Amino acid sequence: MSVRVRMAPSPTGFLHIGGVRTFLFNWLFARGRGGECLLRIENTDTSREVAESVAQIERSLRWLGIDWDGETTFQLDRMGRAQEEARRLVAEGKAYEDEGAIRIRMPDEGVVGWEDAIKGRIEFPAAELEDLVLVRSDGRPTYNFASPLEDWLDGITHVIRGDDHVSNTPKQLVVLRALGAEPPVYAHVPNVFGGDGKKLSKRHGAVSVDEFRAAGYVPEALMNFLALLGWAPDGETTIMSREELIERFSLERVGSSPATFDYAKLDWMNGVYLRSFPPEEYADRLVAYLREQGYDWPEERIRAAAPLVQEKITRLGEFPAFAGFLFGDVEPDPSLLDSRILREAERALERVEPWRADAIEQALKALCDELGEKPRSVYPSIRVAVTGSRVSPGLYESLELLGRETALSRIRAAASVAA
């Protein structure tokens, strides 16, 4: 039997990272088995749905590298079919009308249960189930009717969704049974928390895919990190390519307890990916990122700066603050400047030929010897004068890139304002 799953976001604004993790599990599961992965928008409620948010959802998924088969479908499009099926159930005596709405009869004894692919056997006492509204009095189907109905019509074999749907499952199982449908395999993945044991939300940090993108995370890292939230191939492996993720993913190894989103670990992992890119690719990504964020800095200069920061920043978003001195003026803090050292540095640097990092290094080292000081006591002043900060990329490379003229004029200017 070939596998078919579906990702079913509700079109309420942005794409939440917790939901993305669930979609990722669907996607990895399907792709790992040569199956299909559908994208279905769950909008039985017309008032809330917005075309724009659907477009945003699609854009976010694509950016992450999650694709889907066929056209995006809308739950609402099958309203007619839902009404038809509901009427059929009434005719068969399995449902009944109630003040203009149609309700299904729930069994009133025994249990309704299933073998959850992640949580194992789950059962609900039938007495807990109330006769569910299938179709509202205004004719629109409810979620708990439309969703299983569509799963059936679409031939969904595995419903992999959030934990919060566990209590909907018995209802949907009854609906499916009444419809005469073979129920799919259900797999309920635990929630994602933010540090305090509460559902991940804005107060914990970034939550939408767009925010992570804007902060300079790369999709490979985000995907790798998300995959490991609640799933592990073994106890050792942490860095895995998209292909490896697909190959190794399995529902059996998804844990049943909720996971906490650890931003620090994501940062670390993003750094691992950033450092692993070949220099040209790193530069490509950096340029694309800065363009996306609206920086109009010259591309050649960004490319030249890329190697200076690749080992040092963990998110592309750190680039402007870290290497911005290469693209605009600086305002060094006078109290961090030493005019004597700066004048000596100016003198030493004037004669450097050619203006390259290695020659600059020689000159500066020689200066240190001359002054009888350690680099650590003479460099800070120069660094601050030239980069505007005590933290920066390598000093020699920074000076080279900046050019002799700019470098010297910054040093001169700094010397004159030094405290």
Q: 215-218: which pairs have CB atoms within 8 A and are 24 or more residues apart?
A: 215/315, 215/317, 216/270, 216/289, 216/315, 216/316, 216/317, 216/318, 216/319, 217/266, 217/270, 217/315, 217/316, 218/270, 218/273, 218/274, 218/285, 218/316
Write down the least CB distance from residue 410 to RNA, Å. 16
Distances (CA, A) of 129 to 142, 162, 164: 16, 20, 17
Half-sphere exposure of 82 (CA within 13 A, CB side): 28
Residue (35 or 206) nearer to RNA, CB: 206
Residue (66 or 146) nearer to RNA, CB: 146
Write down the least CB distance from residue 296 to RNA, Å. 26
**Cβ contact 6:73 at 8 Å:** no
Residue (68 or 225) nearer to RNA, CB: 225
Question: Running DSSP on this structure, what letter comes out for residue 372?
Answer: T
Write down the least CB distance from residue 216 to RNA, Å. 14
Residue (93 or 235) nearer to RNA, CB: 235
Write down the least CB distance from residue 381 to RNA, Å. 11
Residue (88 or 136) nearer to RNA, CB: 136
Write down the least CB distance from residue 126 to RNA, Å. 10
The tokens for 70 are: 């066929």
Q: Helix or strand or coil: residue 39?
A: strand
How far apart CA 82 and CA 84 sit, in angstroms, is 5
Residue (195 or 334) nearer to RNA, CB: 195
Write down the least CB distance from residue 344 to RNA, Å. 16
Half-sphere exposure of 232 (CA within 13 A, CB side): 10
Residue (197 or 354) nearer to RNA, CB: 197
Write down the least CB distance from residue 418 to RNA, Å. 18
How far apart CA 259 and CA 228 sit, in angstroms, is 10
How far apart CA 269 and CA 226 sit, in angstroms, is 11
Question: In 73-188, where does DSSP find H-type helix?
Answer: 79-91, 143-153, 169-179
